[in-house]
Amino acid sequence: MLTLGEALEASVRRRSDKVALVFGERRWTYAEFWHRTGCWAEALARQGIRPQDRVALLLPNGLEMAEAYFGLARAGVVGVPINLRWAPPEIGYVLQHAEVQAVIADAQLAPLLAEVPGAPGRRFFTGRGAQPAWEAELAQVAGEPEPVAVRPETPSVIVYTSGTTGRPKGAVRSHFSNLVIAMSLAAELGIHHGDVGLALLPMFHVNSMWFVTLSLVIGATTVIYPHRTITPAAVVEALNRHRVTYSMFVPSLLTYLVDAAERGQLQPDSLRVMMTASAPLGPSLTARLLAAFPRLTLVDIYGATEYGAVTFMEYRQGEASPSGSVGFPALGQRVRILDAQHQPVPPGTIGEIWVQGPSLMTEYFQDPERTRTAFDAEGFLTVGDLGYLDAQGRLYLVDRKEDMAIVAGENVFPAEVEEVFHSHPAVALAVVFGVPDPRRGERLVAEVVLRPGATTTPEALRSWVAERLADYKRPWRIHVVPELPIGPSGKVLRRLARERYLAQMAEG
């Protein structure tokens, strides 16, 4: 049971008539979902898609996204999930870099796909109004698909992450590496087949992908959040209606949930596991959550697309927890802290975080140089985060990847945004950095120096960026300035620019 298809099949054998997935008024039992994923696998084969081909998924949350993910897995096809917030040039880059053979897209996203440069000709549309209708392809399938030899180390997905130096990079993840994350979460958090999970976050993200995998592997019922936009009132309604017992949230949403519980709008006795990641939890919010939800285990997870889940920090009512820690390493994970010479440092000393374990990615797709520098000779992997271990082995995160901002739960690397500014004919220099924001975690600010004799406006620059980047990557404020702080090497000093900006804001 070391591939995604084998793991799902085991749940089908045990709980064939149990509801596996709920989306609005639609629902699939485990037996029905198994049949549907088999139809997907066979239909793809009929369309000439072969094992190890790469197929992009331009799909919102829904039953089709779950069917596609496991249908591709059963066919031995590699999925390339696409962030629906990306602009057409961003999508085009990923489709071309991953060399995808086809795109499976929601019919409502056909206009977006039509604007994507270099998109492959083979496009299969799902959902209402799809032409040609993918459902017709599925309906032609009779019986089980021909079995495909899929091994644990076979690539399952290529997930593209924002790059520290501009272009996104594709993390290749195997069947086993994704499956072991699901098993680790179940073991660590005590989630079982009697639970009901809410898949709230976008399913093109690895966190939500792992969440759905966890739920289906253990035989639980998964409710897929039925709206394209996350609104607190709709989340509260879904939690109450389905008596949800576990879910994963971005920290910014937790404030709304605890407010609703304190006002009596959210039933507090069902939720017993809240998972969160992407940004640290404050002690005040943690205390309020534990007080409002009497059965709650609150779990802060540190990880990355390349790592999987690295550490867990659990908070329970009445139990003391060290402030600022992201917890102990997860089952099977080894964490070590190394200095600039790649030597271990003593407890309490800050260094670069390196991780070894069964949930790591295999490589960066078509990027041997980045892969070589990310892994060391012993198989430890780093994404550049800084931290330290205490004497008991708990990890403390000091700084995430250099200069990375987290905007409403989305990782944004300023270099990628700066590259877009630098492509504007009037821009000589640009710097982008994150500043604190009480609702979104951080917002982006851009400072731009124009070329001699060139003229433009912040509004024009904003339009330039909007055509090329997802909305969460677009700066909140754009300032045209006479100069930027430059270091001895000739590079813009981003941290100094940020400090200068914050000081100016504090002065009013």
Contacts of 306 (CB under 8 A, 6+ apart): 161, 171, 360, 361, 374, 381, 383
Contacts of 42 (CB under 8 A, 6+ apart): 141, 145, 146
For helices 63-75 and 206-218, angle between their N-to-C axes, nearest 10 degrees? 80
Contacts of 233 (CB under 8 A, 6+ apart): none
- Nearest residue to 378 (alpha-carbon basis) of 361, 354, 399: 354
CB–CB of 500/483 below 8 Å? Answer: no
- β-strand pairing of 19-23 with 221-224: parallel
Query: Tell me, what's the pLDDT at 96?
Result: 97
Domains annotated for the chain, with CATH where assigned, are 4-221 (3.40.50.12780), 405-507 (3.30.300.30)
Query: Tell me, what's the pLDDT at 489?
Result: 45
pLDDT digit of tens for each residue in the chain (508 aa)? 589 999 999 999 999 999 999 999 999 999 999 999 999 999 999 999 999 999 999 999 999 999 999 999 999 999 999 999 899 999 999 999 999 999 999 999 999 999 999 999 899 998 776 666 677 888 888 777 778 889 999 999 999 986 555 678 999 999 999 999 988 999 889 999 999 999 999 999 888 999 999 999 999 999 999 888 888 899 999 999 999 999 999 877 888 899 899 999 999 999 999 999 866 677 878 889 999 999 999 999 999 999 999 999 999 888 877 877 899 999 899 999 999 899 999 999 988 999 999 999 999 999 999 999 999 999 999 998 888 999 999 999 876 666 778 888 888 878 789 889 988 999 988 999 999 988 888 999 999 999 889 999 999 999 999 999 999 999 999 999 999 987 544 567 888 899 899 988 888 6
Q: Provide the whole-model pTM.
A: 0.83
Encode 215-282 in three state secondary structure: HHHHCCEEEECCCCCCCHHHHHHHHHHHCCCEEEECHHHHHHHHHHHHCCCCCCCCCCEEEECCCCCC
For helices 206-218 and 175-189, angle between their N-to-C axes, nearest 10 degrees? 70
Distances (CA, A) of 482 to 43, 291, 409, 494: 59, 51, 33, 16
